[in-house]
Copies of this chain bind each other. A is one copy, B any other.
Amino acid sequence: MDQNNVNEAVLPLEKFIAYRLNQAAEKVSQKFALEYKKRYGMTRPEWRTLATIGQFGNITAKQICQHSSMHKTKVSRAIFTLEQRRWLKRTVDQNDRRVEHLELTLQGQKAYLELSDVARNFQDQIYAALGPANTAALETSLDAIETLIDTQ
């Protein structure tokens, strides 16, 4: 495919960092999504919600939104689905009855630990492919990018 654009100063999409980040992120996420789709028929919001509850043990929907940057309707619907599966239980806060505390059931914990294990293997493979120097630089770069955007 010939590139015959007149203007040499334009930025090729494949050199544009926003695009490159999205490409890599999407590939990695879709690869990992195969695991939770195949095993449990879960969606990405469901996996992230499960992972966040599993990580914190006891958490509210609002806190899941803050920690995972997911939209509150996504979180609300993911919680509903996980509850239907009996993977989490809700407890209404006694001091503020708007708030519900979420915890995984034993089944939910089992799925979380299994997927967490897959995630760790996945992570190890990527880090092995990058090597220690690039791994460190990647983490530093992602932090720097997020900080830049947040503080702009």
CB–CB A26/B69 < 8 A: yes
How far, in whole Å, are A142 and B134 apart by their CA atoms in the complex?
10
Most interface-central of A13, A18, A54 (chain B CB within 10 A): A18
The interface size bin for chain A is: 35 or more
Interface of A is mostly: helix
Tallying the copies of this chain within the complex gives 2
Which residues from B are CB-within-8-Å of A4?
56-58
Which residue of chain B has the shortest Cβ distance to A30 in the bound complex? B149
A21 touches B18 (CB 8 A): no
Instruction: Report the minimum CB–CB distance from A100 to chain B (whole Å).
Output: 15
Give every chain B residue within 8 A of A150 (Cβ-Cβ).
27
A8 → chain B closest CB, angstroms? 11
- Are the C-beta atoms of A29 and B18 separated by less than 8 Å? yes
**Bound-complex Cα distance A134 to B17 (A):** 13
